[in-house]
């Protein structure tokens, strides 16, 4: 099955309690750190270059994950926290409820599972996230505040105690580990985003790449959003983050050493949420709203999620997304930019959203649970361009 998308020419975890809460207290970023380096290249598009071209998303297979608890509290902070891939495209899924890891091969067939609740060598204590570095799986155990390191076959290797305030997500790129976290103070009003790198995967070699204030703080308007999805870390160690995600479409690309190198985006008109998104918010959080603990943001953040494909193009999911309203007919806006920041394509898609992962030329789309049959699956698609 091939889903063909035509592009019109637009003129448009085992966390602490606070760490888990961070995943839902999101409005948008008006970061106090602005890019002013004279060497930074700025590119802004008025319309996509290939408005009449196509990209194909060819469906490869479906993975049945009905027996894995995918949509639970820990995974609402982003499936990237509990799903990762090895170099052979095998997929590893951490079930934080059952404390088990399930492995599927590159064709979506179940291969093995291991783990279980407990504190033994092959057991996990309140696991909240995992990632793969080389031939080892790192499983974060919130109860004991450490990583349990396992082989890809599920054999115990070692443990490593690491303590950082409010870890939100770990990334792996170029043999290095990256940590995106949130820092607050005693009044729990201010908030700062911090990105650290650990060269060679060694936690003792810590480098802070940026620390950015989030002006709305923890008492700003809240909804079910995920900050780490705004960050893209490329395979070569470059990374991307919005310059001001509250009111404009502007993404900064940083060099491996943390120097701003490129700012790109496109013309964008901020729009209010749809009525269905607003209604869903009030149905979910009525008690918090009545108690004055939660306020609905009028507009969604601009950048909702980013991927980088095998051509080094940046794919950006923009504005309101399917997960905001869970309207079956809603289609997300997806833009594709070249490595130089040139706006190439723009299209609507139900397949690419917040609950989508990317690895090695494939998109892994995680639709909601079927509430009639309680079946759960992951659809896997391959990207095919119509241009060389």
**Residues 227-258 pLDDT 10s:** 999 999 999 999 999 998 988 999 999 999 89
Integer angstrom CA distances of residue 243 from 141, 215, 303, 362:
33, 13, 10, 28
Tell me the per-residue pLDDT of 24-68, one tens digit each, with 9 for 90 and over.
Answer: 333 333 343 444 556 789 999 889 999 877 788 999 999 999 999
Which domains, from first to last, does the chain contain? 2-385 (2.120.10.30)
> Which of 316, 249, 342 minimizes the C-alpha distance to 12?
249
Question: Do the strands 260-266 and 41-45 form a parallel or antiparallel pair, or are they unpaired?
Answer: parallel
Looking at the DSSP assignment, which residues form a beta bridge with residue 137?
132, 150
Tell me the per-residue pLDDT of 152-195, one tens digit each, with 9 for 90 and over.
Answer: 999 999 999 988 888 999 999 999 999 999 998 888 888 999 99
Query: What is residue 123's predicted lDDT score, i.e. its pLDDT?
Result: 95
The sign of the dihedral angle between the CA atoms of 284, 229, 83, 273 is positive
Percent of the chain, pLDDT > 70? 89
pTM, whole model, 2 decimals?
Answer: 0.88
Integer angstrom CA distances of residue 334 from 2, 19, 316, 318:
18, 29, 6, 6
Distance CA 196, CA 179 (A): 5
């Amino acid at each position: 099955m091939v889903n063909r998308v035509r592009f019109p020419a637009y003129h448009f975890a085992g966390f602490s309690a606070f760490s888990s809460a961070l995943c839902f207290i999101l409005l948008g970023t008006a970061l106090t750190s602005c890019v002013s380096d004279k060497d930074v290249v700025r590119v802004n598009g008025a319309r996509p270059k290939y408005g009449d071209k196509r990209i194909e998303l060819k469906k490869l297979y479906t993975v049945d994950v009905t027996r894995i608890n995918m949509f639970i509290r820990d995974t609402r902070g982003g499936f990237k926290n509990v799903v990762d891939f090895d170099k052979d495209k095998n997929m590893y899924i951490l079930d934080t409820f059952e404390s088990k890891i399930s492995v599927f091969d590159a064709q979506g067939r179940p291969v093995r599972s291991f783990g279980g609740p407990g504190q033994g060598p092959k057991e996990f204590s309140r696991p909240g996230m995992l990632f793969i570095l080389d031939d080892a799986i790192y499983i974060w155990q919130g109860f004991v505040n450490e990583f349990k390191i396992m082989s890809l076959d599920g054999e115990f290797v070692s443990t490593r105690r690491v303590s950082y305030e409010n870890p939100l997500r770990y990334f792996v790129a170029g043999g290095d580990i990256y940590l995106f976290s949130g820092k607050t103070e005693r009044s729990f009003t201010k908030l700062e985003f911090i990105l650290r790198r650990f060269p060679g995967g060694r936690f003792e070699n810590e480098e802070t790449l940026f620390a950015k204030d989030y002006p709305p703080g923890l008492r700003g308007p809240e909804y079910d959003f995920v900050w780490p999805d705004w960050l893209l870390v490329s395979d070569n160690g470059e990374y991307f983050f919005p310059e001001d995600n509250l009111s404009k479409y502007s993404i900064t690309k940083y060099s491996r050493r943390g120097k701003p190198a490129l700012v790109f985006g496109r013309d964008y008109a901020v729009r209010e949420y749809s009525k269905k998104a607003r209604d869903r918010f009030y149905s979910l959080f009525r008690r918090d709203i009545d108690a004055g603990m939660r306020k609905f943001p009028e507009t969604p953040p601009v950048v909702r999620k980013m991927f980088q494909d095998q051509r080094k193009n940046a794919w950006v999911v923009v504005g309101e997304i399917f997960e905001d309203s869970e309207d079956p007919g809603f289609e997300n806006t997806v833009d594709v930019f070249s490595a130089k920041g040139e706006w190439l394509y723009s299209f609507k898609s139900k397949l690419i959203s917040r609950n989508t992962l990317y690895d090695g030329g494939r998109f892994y789309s995680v639709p909601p649970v079927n509430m009639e049959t309680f079946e759960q699956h992951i659809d896997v698609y391959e990207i095919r361009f119509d241009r060389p």
